[in-house]
Amino acid sequence: MKNENENFFFDVDVGTDDDGKKIIRNIFWSNASCQAAYADFGDCVTFDTTYKTNKYHMPLGFFVSVNNHLQSTIFGVALVGNESSDSFEWIFNAFKRCMRKDPTCILTDQCPAMKAAIPKVFLRTHHRLCRWHIMKKIKDHLSKVYLEHDTFKEDLAAVLNHPLMPAEFEAAWHDLMDTYNLQNDTILLGLWEERTTWISAYWKEIFCARMTSAQRSESMNHILKKGFVKETQVLHIFARQVNECIQKRHQLEVAETIASTGVRNPLTRYLFEKQLMDVYTRADYTLFRERLFESGAFRIKQSTGHVTKYYVHHYNQEKIFTWSRHEFQVVADETNGEYECECKL
């Protein structure tokens, strides 16, 4: 593949076994389109090594994120000899040499080896944990709590999913624990202790591309295993099939880019919506329209004594959840047309 495209990047970690024979420990590669995608969308990256979809039973890892069409986009691929801290450190270094810049944020599962390797390589990257993995890990325990308390599942989801600020999340969490008398539940106490690593309220200043889990990486593994590779394939065939999967993803992106140039009808008569229709992709514009519709549920009031500060709040402040009672501060620079809300949305 290097002969076909000089920008194709690969590296192989070669070692020796107990008998002194050379063995392949780790492999990383990334084609030119992957590197171009990282230049545009590499702020936040997910990495996961769930499936062993090859003849050598080496865990396969994808570096994945989301593009401007809200599609999963692949940055790089790794075959991991063993899921040790040294292996992950080598793979992350290979990724860094290829891309020549650290991601702002990386999302992984709770793997201790990854946790140890990431800060050694990505010195300026925020490491966040996959919320889906965390909740899956305690699924059996939560099932027992759900059986004891009919409304706990709904209340827990509200606390985890609504756009709380850190103070509001902490107040809502304590209210939840008090309501259901779960203050001494060791599993939930563990979630609380690690809250800054997986609760999005603590990431407001960090661009995470709306991702809270590593499921995009897992989905790529699933797509690859289902439609492109077989466990009996030798390494060079396996690599070509992975590349074919990447090219198929790129074709989907091109198709969506073309579709985004089509005619769209505005939802309102606001001039800014027409402007955004010309700037946003079809997927982003659809998301914006949903936000615009939901914005009608908020009310605005000016801060007393501060002409540049405003507060917005949800119209229904009678709900039991703290988030709906909170007033979010908006600082407005009307001269330059710049507005910033503390919720960061």
Task: Decide if 208 is inside a domain.
Answer: no
Tokens read off for 299: 């009310």
Return the pLDDT at 54. 45
Tokens read off for 49: 């090594």
E strand or H helix at 21: none
Do 121 and 239 belong together in one domain? Answer: yes
The whole-angstrom separation of Cα 253 and Cα 257 is 6
Model pTM score? 0.83
Do 169 and 268 belong together in one domain? Answer: no
Task: Decide if 207 is inside a domain.
Answer: no
Do 253 and 269 belong together in one domain? Answer: no
> Cβ distance 345 to 200 under 8 Å?
no
Which range of residues forms the domain containing residue 290?
261-296
Do 226 and 269 belong together in one domain? Answer: no
Do 22 and 122 belong together in one domain? Answer: yes
How far is Cα of residue 320 from the mean position of the Cα atoms in its chain? 29
Task: Decide if 250 is inside a domain.
Answer: yes
Return the pLDDT at 27. 92
Return the pLDDT at 318. 57
Weakly modelled stretches of the chain, pLDDT under 50: 53-55
- Could you tell me where the beta strands, DSSP code E, fall in the chain? 9-16, 22-30, 44-48, 60-66, 72-80, 105-108, 126-129, 298-302, 309-314, 328-333, 338-341
Task: Decide if 330 is inside a domain.
Answer: no
Task: Decide if 314 is inside a domain.
Answer: no
Do 163 and 198 belong together in one domain? Answer: yes
Do 115 and 224 belong together in one domain? Answer: yes
Do 170 and 253 belong together in one domain? Answer: no
Task: Decide if 321 is inside a domain.
Answer: no
- Terminal alpha carbon distance of the chain: 42
Do 36 and 147 belong together in one domain? Answer: no
Closest CA to 50 of 174, 179, 213: 213
The domain that holds 220 is classified in CATH as 3.30.420.10
Do 52 and 193 belong together in one domain? Answer: no
Do 75 and 117 belong together in one domain? Answer: yes
Do 230 and 126 belong together in one domain? Answer: yes
Task: Decide if 244 is inside a domain.
Answer: yes
What is the domain count for the chain?
3
